């Protein structure tokens, strides 16, 4: 089983427990409080759901690096994009951390040259990236940037020529507008992180959010692995109690 799915299945009991706890808490706002104990708990569920989504995508993409071999020509299109993105990020860090004036120092020149050659080696021998200390993990991309960050991240690795949300809307019409709901969940997560209270959340909302995130994970993996039209057998949104679903509830 993929590491991403393993991490997801490990997180599901925690989310279920958070929801059970919320269900047993009063939904009455105490005096001098802005929200009920139940709503406060539900906000924590939103945080956990976004963490699961972010972790799933990160692990899914990291698995590509773990499987890199010695020969560039043997890599699939997604793996090549992964190497290219990692090289671009590394070069970006180098440029930001080194002013042109600093290159008057021979040691800086040598250090800069070594780092650039290392990026070149990732294309010559991709397996060197898999064990590189400079390989960057895709953490934090859903914090403040909303669903667009997820779309940009996934679209770098898709093989079908479409952005993730456009692909999702075309082949899975019932997912149209999913980015709007995802943005609400992310905004709720950001409220908690920033200590603000900009939007309400109910038990019904939270159950809807959980179902959406869980179903979205299955489609993310299909998107990354699909070159053209996805298999018709996958053109069904799994129900929460569907035992054949790769994700389920």
Mark out the alpha helices in the chain (DSSP H runs).
3-23, 37-66, 77-96, 106-124, 127-130, 147-155, 164-171, 178-194, 203-225
Domain annotation covers residue 9? yes
> Quick one: 125 and 24 in the same domain?
no
pLDDT tens digits, 187-197: 999 899 888 88
Residues 59 and 172 reside in one and the same domain: yes
Measured CA to CA, the distance from residue 51 to residue 11 in angstroms comes to: 9
Find how far residue 148's CA is from the centre of its chain: 11
Q: What's the pLDDT at 239?
A: 40
pLDDT in tens, 53-74: 988 888 887 877 788 888 999 8
Domain that holds residue 115: 72-130
Same domain, 41 and 153: yes
Distance CA 189, CA 147 (A): 12
> How many structural domains comprise the chain?
2
Q: Show Cβ contacts of residue 25 under 8 Å, excluding neighbours closer than 6 positions.
A: 36, 37, 38, 41
Same domain, 167 and 63: yes
The answer on 228 and 150 residing in a single domain is yes
**Which pTM was predicted?**
0.73
Which percentage of the chain shows pLDDT scores above 70? Answer: 87
Residue 137 is assigned to a structural domain of this protein: no
CA nearest to 42, candidates 15, 80, 73: 15
Is 107 in the same domain as 203?
no
pLDDT in tens, 88-133: 888 988 888 888 899 899 998 999 999 999 999 999 999 998 888 8
């Amino acid at each position: 089983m993929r590491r991403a799915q393993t991490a997801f299945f490990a997180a599901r009991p925690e989310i279920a427990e958070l929801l059970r706890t919320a269900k047993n808490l009063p939904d009455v706002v105490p005096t001098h409080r802005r929200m009920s104990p139940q709503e406060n708990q539900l906000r924590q569920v939103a945080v956990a759901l976004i963490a699961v989504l972010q972790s799933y995508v990160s692990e899914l993409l990291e698995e590509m690096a773990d499987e890199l071999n010695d020969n560039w020509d043997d890599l699939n299109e997604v793996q090549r994009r992964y190497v290219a993105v990692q090289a671009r990020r590394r070069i970006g860090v180098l440029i930001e951390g080194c002013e042109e004036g600093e290159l008057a120092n021979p040691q800086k020149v040598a250090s800069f040259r070594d780092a650039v050659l290392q990026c070149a080696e990732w294309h010559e021998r991709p397996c060197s990236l898999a064990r590189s200390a400079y390989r960057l993990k895709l953490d934090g991309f859903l914090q403040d940037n909303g669903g667009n960050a997820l779309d940009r991240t996934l679209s770098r690795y898709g093989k079908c020529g479409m952005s993730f949300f456009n692909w999702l809307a075309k082949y899975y019409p019932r997912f149209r507008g999913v980015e709007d709901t995802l943005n609400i969940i992310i905004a709720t997560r950001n409220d908690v992180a920033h200590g603000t209270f900009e939007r309400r959340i109910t038990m019904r909302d939270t159950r809807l959010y959980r179902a959406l995130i869980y179903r979205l994970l299955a489609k993310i993996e299909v998107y990354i692995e699909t070159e053209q039209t996805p298999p018709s057998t996958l053109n069904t949104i799994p129900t929460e109690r569907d035992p054949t679903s790769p994700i389920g509830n």
